[in-house]
Chains A and B, each alone.
Chain A
Amino acid sequence: MRHLLSLPQLASRAFSTTARQMRNKVPERQKVFLEDNGLPVHIKGGTTDVLLYRLTMTITLAGTALSFYWLLRASMPRGKAH
């Protein structure tokens, strides 16, 4: 029944600009980030946080290894491009 009553609101929301009809989701986000689960802030948001962190760390470690490879190659006297 509640869904039917909110239909006019939903319809107007679909055709309005985001700015005008955006709902305030800050209290919900506050609840997520104030939860006492011992998680550090950089992964406290959920699965996306963890995936993004893993991607970033993979690039960090792979990049460090790659920079060592290039450092070794650049230190060699031969095989250097013009």
Chain B
Amino acid sequence: MAHQAHAYHMVDPSPWPLTGAIGALLMTSGLAIWFHFHSTTLMTLGLILLLLTMYQWWRDIIREGTFQGHHTPPVQKGLRYGMILFITSEVFFFLGFFWAFYHSSLAPTPELGGCWPPTGITPLDPFEVPLLNTAVLLASGVTVTWAHHSLMEGERKQAIQSLALTILLGLYFTALQAMEYYEAPFTIADGVYGSTFFVATGFHGLHVIIGSSFLAVCFLRQIQYHFTSEHHFGFEAAAWYWHFVDVVWLFLYVSIYWWGS
């Protein structure tokens, strides 16, 4: 059996980049076909393909790292850079929506009544559910840090409990926000206020769901003894992502919910 004389990871040939790309093609073209022909087949096929690709690709990474030992220190360093760069790209994504919000709210046009919130809009009280949501996410930041320290100290049971608590807090936020969306006195169609509010908070909510899912996978892996006290990068990546989601919420809360009311 040939052994490599270096610490880097030469990956096995994989079909998932191709299937993922085709999945993206089917989802986007499927969206256009849904708009013009009222058929959702293509888009649904694309969504299924994307989910299958994500499951198998990430399953393979777990196999390569945890079961095959390919995640040596230099490889892990690359994974860290990768996650940081990805989160940075997401920061820029949200920056765009904050730009849109401030563009419209700092100089409200005559069509809006020259004021912000615009005439006719009853904004949500920032000291009711939005404040609770802030507390929930801040608490989840504490519990995820607790989980990390538990992992590093080899405290298996505490790591599992604190991780579970973090996920529950994430789900609680999602449920509260869903209720707020349902009860809100304004909709996405209510001018630029509605657009900026629901697009910015909507994408944030999607990221909360993604982050909760990532943490849930870490929870299952922790139960199955995948993480060691020295090596648990999957968890760290999930924790970084979760802190990012938390920080985005703080900006949303201060800008849109509080200042914007």
A residues near B, CB below 8 A?
A: 18-20, 22, 24-26, 29-30, 32-34, 36, 40-42, 44-45, 52-53, 55-57, 59-60, 62-64, 66-67, 70-71, 73-74, 80-81
CA distance A15 to B48 in the complex (A): 36
Partner of A41, one of B12, B19, B33: B12
Asked if B15 is an interface residue, CB under 8 A from chain A, the answer is: yes
CA distance A62 to B26 in the complex (A): 10
Q: Chain B's interface: helix, strand, loop or mixed, by majority? A: helix
* A26-B224, A40-B14, A63-B45 as given contacts; A81 in contact with B38, CB under 8 Å: yes
Contact status A71-B29, CB under 8 Å:
yes
Partner of A63, one of B36, B42, B63: B42
Contact status B224-A66, CB under 8 Å:
no
Q: Which positions 51-68 of chain B face chain A at CB distance < 8 Å?
A: 52-53, 56, 60, 63-64, 66-68
Partner of A42, one of B16, B23, B46, B226: B16
Rounded to whole Å, the gap between the CB of B73 and the closest CB of chain A is 19
Query: Number of B residues contacting the other chain (C-beta, 8 Å)?
Result: 42
Contact status B68-A34, CB under 8 Å:
yes
Rounded to whole Å, the gap between the CB of A69 and the closest CB of chain B is 9
11 A/B residue pairs, CB under 8 Å, sorted by A: A19-B160, A25-B225, A29-B67, A33-B67, A41-B64, A53-B56, A56-B53, A60-B19, A63-B22, A63-B49, A74-B36
CB-based nearest B residue for A26: B225
Contact status A45-B36, CB under 8 Å:
no
CB-based nearest B residue for A39: B12
Q: Which positions 15-38 of chain B face chain A at CB distance < 8 Å?
A: 15-16, 18-19, 22-23, 25-26, 29-30, 32-33, 36-38
Rounded to whole Å, the gap between the CB of A67 and the closest CB of chain B is 5
Partner of B45, one of A33, A57, A66: A66
Partner of A45, one of B11, B18, B63, B226: B63
* A residues less than 8 Å from B52 (CB atoms): 52, 55-56, 59
* B residues less than 8 Å from A22 (CB atoms): 223-225
Partner of A33, one of B13, B25, B68: B68
A-B residue pairs, 3 tightest by C-beta: A40-B12, A33-B67, A24-B225
Contact status A70-B37, CB under 8 Å:
yes
CA distance A29 to B69 in the complex (A): 12
* A residues less than 8 Å from B42 (CB atoms): 63, 66-67, 70
Partner of B29, one of A26, A30, A45, A70: A70
* B residues less than 8 Å from A24 (CB atoms): 224-225
Partner of B63, one of A44, A56, A59, A67: A44
Contact status A56-B14, CB under 8 Å:
no
Rounded to whole Å, the gap between the CB of B213 and the closest CB of chain A is 19
Asked if B1 is an interface residue, CB under 8 A from chain A, the answer is: yes
Rounded to whole Å, the gap between the CB of B10 and the closest CB of chain A is 12
Contact status B66-A63, CB under 8 Å:
no
CA distance A30 to B67 in the complex (A): 4
